[in-house]
């Protein structure tokens, strides 16, 4: 390069002028490669663009045979250009023809050139093409020349992404960025959603690429970095720490990245080369992501998401955009696509605009999935790569029944799913017709179908679903979506609203269940734990911090004045914990009586069975409480030693297995023996096949997401329960614990026309 200080800046200035001119796409590309060749004193500059069929097509050249444009092609991985596209790494060679990957294309006339510098055209770490310069002489291109070419490649990436080159493609051929993609994940909540992508951590589109004054941009960058560093602790405590688990390690990693001199230096160099601060962040992050994708160290590859998150946050600092801006521009058929997210974050989106949820991570019993089920959102998880493949506004289909995600679907696929949605609507109409019908089996056995809830916005679904009551009201959701501990008045207001909406239907309030993976950023008393699921959480925490429990009990007692109050303790491990909680309740009752408050007409105290230790205290438990609820999610997690948030093993064991069903039957039989009502309120109740198993082993009260009540009732009304009970008894009496219960239930359903 002739002028190491001014070369890149001069080139970027010329490119900015070219971008502003009213030119046809091909002429613009031809002028761009000509400018690059002149600026870098290169005899050749060529641009190859990646097509949807994994072919790199020559789109523009200066120096090679011009008739080869749109004719010269290389497969992904073929030749030097194909190798760069496949690896997303640059190649800098003084004698390209001696490289083992060299492939000669006779139509281009490139055999006379020796030195070769090629860089991938990257956007969000994804390869869209390759930009190349060549010279006859054998020379090694300098680091600043490589930097300049990478910067130009980023500008070209935006041209490709915005569709400028679409008019240059031949009929029947599409660029890679716009090709249809079908991805397979795990179905987490049934339903079909057709809509448009909303990236939960949206990659901010940078439109201002070239700076007018480097000093001003450097100052903007430093100000944004200072703000970012100051806010890291708050940001991590709000969301990221909860999902990473190793809180301190992640916090230190973020601090390290935000203060990393190498990262900051690369940002500054990009600005000095003529980019705006925003464009510099985008370029450096795209380069880093492409490099880290090919690292073999799994720890370093996992840190990609940390870098991505940090870069996104820095972009938002620079552009002054908060998460609330996304909600304002949300399409009416939004399908949220995210690597992972918290339950409270999903509730930030306007619910009436949501049509589906796609997660790269997640597990069937993680809390984000539970909330998605509660609001009836079709959900697919563990869809690897979906975030980087998606752009905001892309058409997308989510099939929560078979775990398929179709990105930018073809017209015939979209038509097929539109028909599937119409079929589901007809089925939903059938469920609506069942709403007021008693939940009775064919042989006249009544079953209480209850719904799970957690916020005031869930309450209209009590009447719409036909539930006979709320079997589980998760009071902690009010705490999770708040910025500070809700005051007693706010809690009382919510509980009274819930009871008013329920009318004469029963409501079971679970006392606050925080800790574990439900981290409250404002609760400084919680310490990080190596294994939070087995740590200081739920009733253990509230008995140690009785002020929390007393405040909530006081709010519940006042809200339920003149009505029955049903209160349930989560994660009870010893019957003694029930007695401690009852003492606190009695103390609050006496306190309110002293001041003549209107008290509940009746108070029922229950406990959740989710810790295996209670299985050896069932007799004492049934005598100590008024009712029992089985939390099948945590119980299954603890019984099988399976972390429900660990995607590697979350689906390794089946709750519809002989050992676990025997255990569940043991609990319901203990309740029957002591006259203590037993309800199961975990996610196991929410699918017709697993609800069918629960009925077959003796459960007559189950609680689920509102959207699940219709399908479960449709199954129940066609069921001959006496016959099913015989089949289940025989299966559980079988000494082979490997009996396929799911297959057995499907055979029974097929033979008796029971809809699943």
pLDDT in tens, 50-90: 887 788 999 999 999 999 989 999 988 889 999 998 888 89
Cβ–Cβ under 8 Å, residues 555 and 495: yes
Last-in-domain residue among 384, 401, 416 = 416
Q: Using alpha carbons, list the distances in angstroms from residue 704 to 227, 423, 508, 628, 631.
A: 44, 23, 13, 16, 11
Judge whether 718 lies within some domain: yes
**Smallest Cα–Cα separation from 523: which of 509, 511, 537?**
537
Q: How far apart are CA 582 and CA 606, in angstroms?
A: 10
pLDDT in tens, 228-262: 777 665 544 443 333 333 333 444 455 566 666 77
Q: What CATH number did the domain enclosing 158 receive?
A: 3.30.450.40
pLDDT in tens, 589-611: 999 999 888 899 999 999 999 99
How much is the mean pLDDT over the chain?
A: 83
**Smallest Cα–Cα separation from 605: which of 512, 478, 501, 510?**
510
Helix (H) or strand (E) holding 335: strand 334-338
Last-in-domain residue among 320, 351, 373 = 320
Q: Using alpha carbons, list the distances in angstroms from residue 561 to 445, 462, 532.
A: 34, 21, 36
Model pLDDT, residue 534: 83
Q: Are residues 563 and 536 in the same domain?
A: yes
More confident residue, 417 or 591: 591
Q: Are residues 648 and 755 in the same domain?
A: yes
Would you give the distance in Å from CA 641 to the centre of its chain? 24
pLDDT in tens, 177-189: 666 778 888 888 8
Sign of CA dihedral 312, 316, 317, 318: positive
Q: What CATH number did the domain enclosing 655 receive?
A: 3.20.20.60
Q: Are residues 507 and 590 in the same domain?
A: yes
Residue 286 three-state SS: helix
User: Helix crossing, 261-272 with 214-235: angle to 10°?
Assistant: 150
Q: Is the pLDDT of residue 132 over 60?
A: yes
Q: Is the pLDDT of residue 332 over 80?
A: yes
pLDDT bin (cut points 50, 70, 90) of residue 517 is low
Q: Are residues 567 and 654 in the same domain?
A: no
Helix (H) or strand (E) holding 127: strand 126-135
Tokens 């190649």 found at? 91
Model pLDDT, residue 708: 85
Judge whether 24 lies within some domain: yes
More confident residue, 465 or 511: 511
pLDDT in tens, 609-643: 999 999 999 999 999 999 999 999 889 989 999 87
Judge whether 693 lies within some domain: yes
Tokens 């959102």 found at? 377
Cβ–Cβ under 8 Å, residues 92 and 65: no
- Residue 171's CB is within 10 A of a number of other CB atoms, namely 4
Model pLDDT, residue 315: 80
Q: Are residues 192 and 260 in the same domain?
A: no
Mean pLDDT value of segment 498-507: 94
Cβ–Cβ under 8 Å, residues 92 and 141: yes
Q: Are residues 530 and 594 in the same domain?
A: yes
Q: Are residues 337 and 382 in the same domain?
A: yes
Q: Using alpha carbons, list the distances in angstroms from residue 484 to 235, 290, 317, 395.
A: 15, 40, 24, 38
Q: Is the pLDDT of residue 2 over 90?
A: no
Judge whether 144 lies within some domain: yes
Judge whether 326 lies within some domain: no
Domain that holds residue 129: 7-177
Last-in-domain residue among 265, 290, 320 = 320
Q: How far apart are CA 18 and CA 42, in angstroms?
A: 20
Sign of CA dihedral 224, 149, 122, 296: negative
Q: Would residue 516 be called left, alpha or beta, if left means φ above 0 and alpha means ψ between -120 and 50 degrees?
A: left
Judge whether 554 lies within some domain: yes
More confident residue, 597 or 726: 726
Q: Residue 675 is encoded by which pair of tokens?
A: 């006259």
Model pLDDT, residue 329: 67
Q: Residue 673 is encoded by which pair of tokens?
A: 């023996």
Q: Are residues 597 and 489 in the same domain?
A: yes
pLDDT in tens, 44-60: 999 999 887 788 999 99
Model pLDDT, residue 633: 87
Q: Are residues 655 and 755 in the same domain?
A: yes
Model pLDDT, residue 415: 80
Q: Are residues 306 and 371 in the same domain?
A: no
pLDDT in tens, 258-317: 666 777 888 888 888 888 888 888 888 777 766 655 554 444 444 555 566 577 777 877
Q: What CATH number did the domain enclosing 255 receive?
A: 1.10.274.10
Judge whether 741 lies within some domain: yes
pTM value > 0.85: no
Judge whether 432 lies within some domain: no
| Cα angle value 586/543/514 (rounded, 5°) | 120
More confident residue, 706 or 309: 706
By CB atoms closer than 10 A (0-12, 13-18, 19+), residue 485 is: middle
Model pLDDT, residue 171: 67
Q: Using alpha carbons, list the distances in angstroms from residue 213 to 11, 51, 227, 271.
A: 15, 37, 22, 9
Q: Are residues 337 and 290 in the same domain?
A: no
Q: Are residues 315 and 223 in the same domain?
A: yes
Cβ–Cβ under 8 Å, residues 358 and 385: no
Number of domains in the chain: 5
% of the chain residues with pLDDT over 70:
83
Model pLDDT, residue 440: 94
């Amino acid at each position: 390069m002739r002028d190491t200080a001014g070369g890149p800046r001069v080139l970027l200035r010329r490119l900015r002028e070219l971008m502003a001119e009213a030119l046809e796409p091909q002429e613009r590309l031809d002028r761009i490669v000509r400018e690059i060749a002149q600026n870098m004193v290169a005899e050749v500059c060529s641009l190859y663009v990646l097509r949807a069929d994994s072919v790199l097509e020559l789109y523009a050249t200066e120096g090679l045979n011009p008739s080869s444009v749109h004719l010269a092609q290389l497969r992904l991985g073929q030749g030097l250009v194909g190798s760069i596209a496949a690896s997303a790494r640059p190649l800098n060679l003084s004698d390209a023809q001696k490289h083992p990957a060299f492939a000669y294309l006779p139509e281009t006339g490139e055999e006379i050139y020796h030195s070769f510098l090629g860089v991938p055209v990257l956007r969000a770490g994804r390869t869209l093409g390759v930009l190349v310069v060549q010279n006859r002489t054998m020379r090694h291109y300098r680091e600043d020349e490589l930097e300049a070419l990478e910067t130009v490649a980023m500008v070209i990436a935006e041209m490709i992404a915005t569709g400028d080159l679409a008019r240059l493609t031949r009929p029947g051929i599409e660029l890679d960025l716009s090709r249809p993609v079908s991805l397979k994940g795990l179905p987490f909540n049934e339903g079909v959603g057709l809509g448009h992508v909303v990236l939960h951590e949206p990659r901010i589109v940078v439109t201002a690429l070239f700076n007018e004054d480097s000093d001003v941009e450097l100052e903007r960058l430093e100000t944004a970095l200072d703000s970012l560093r100051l806010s890291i602790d708050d940001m991590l405590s709000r969301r990221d720490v909860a999902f990473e688990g190793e809180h301190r390690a992640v916090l230190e990693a973020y601090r390290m990245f935000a203060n990393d001199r190498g990262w900051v230096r690369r940002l500054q160099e990009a600005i000095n080369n003529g980019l705006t601060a925003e464009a510099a962040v985008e370029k450096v992050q795209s380069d880093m992501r492409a490099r880290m994708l090919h690292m073999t160290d799994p720890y370093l590859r996992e840190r990609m998401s940390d870098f991505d998150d940090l870069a996104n946050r820095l972009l938002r600092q620079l552009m002054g955009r908060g998460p609330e801006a996304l909600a304002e521009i949300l399409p009416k058929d939004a399908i949220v696509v995210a690597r992972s997210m918290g339950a409270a974050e999903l509730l930030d989106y306007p619910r009436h605009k949501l049509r589906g949820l796609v997660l790269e991570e997640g597990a069937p019993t993680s809390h984000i999935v539970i909330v998605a089920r509660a609001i009836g959102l079709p959900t697919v998880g563990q869809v690897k790569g979906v975030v980087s493949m998606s752009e905001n506004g892309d058409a997308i289909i989510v099939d929560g029944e078979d775990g398929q995600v179709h990105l930018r679907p073809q017209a015939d696929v979209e038509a097929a799913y539109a028909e599937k949605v119409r079929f589901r609507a007809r089925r939903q109409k059938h469920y609506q017709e069942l709403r007021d019908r008693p939940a009775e089996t064919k042989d006249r056995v009544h079953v209480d179908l209850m719904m799970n809830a957690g916020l005031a916005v869930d309450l209209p679904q009590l009447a719409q679903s036909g539930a006979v009551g709320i079997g589980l009201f998760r009071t902690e959701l009010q705490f999770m979506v708040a910025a500070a501990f809700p005051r007693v008045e706010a809690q009382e207001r919510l509980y009274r609203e819930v009871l008013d909406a329920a009318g004469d239907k029963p409501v079971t309030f679970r006392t606050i269940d925080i800790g574990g993976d439900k981290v409250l950023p404002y609760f400084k008393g919680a310490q990080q734990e190596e294994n939070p699921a087995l740590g200081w959480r739920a009733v253990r925490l509230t008995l140690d911090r009785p002020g929390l429990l007393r405040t909530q009990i006081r709010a519940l007692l006042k809200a339920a004045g003149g009505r029955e109050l049903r209160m349930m303790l989560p994660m009870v491990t010893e019957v003694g914990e029930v007695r401690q909680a009852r003492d606190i309740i009695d103390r609050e009752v006496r306190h309110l009586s002293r001041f003549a408050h209107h008290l509940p007409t009746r108070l029922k105290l229950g406990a959740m069975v989710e810790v295996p230790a209670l299985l050896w205290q069932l007799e004492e438990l049934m005598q100590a409480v008024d009712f029992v609820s089985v939390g099948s999610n945590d119980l299954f997690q603890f019984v099988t030693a399976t972390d429900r948030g660990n995607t590697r093993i979350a689906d390794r064991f089946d709750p519809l297995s002989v050992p676990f069903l025997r255990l569940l039957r043991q609990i319901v039989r203990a309740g029957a023996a002591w006259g203590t009502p037993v309800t199961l309120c975990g996610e196991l109740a929410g699918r017709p096949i697993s609800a069918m198993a629960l009925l077959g082993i003796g459960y007559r009260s189950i609680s689920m997401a509102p959207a699940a009540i219709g399908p479960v009732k449709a199954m129940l009304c066609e069921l001959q329960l006496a016959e099913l009970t015989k089949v289940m008894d025989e299966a559980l009496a079988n000494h082979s614990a490997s009996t396929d219960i799911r297959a057995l239930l499907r055979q029974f359903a097929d033979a008796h026309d029971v809809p699943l």
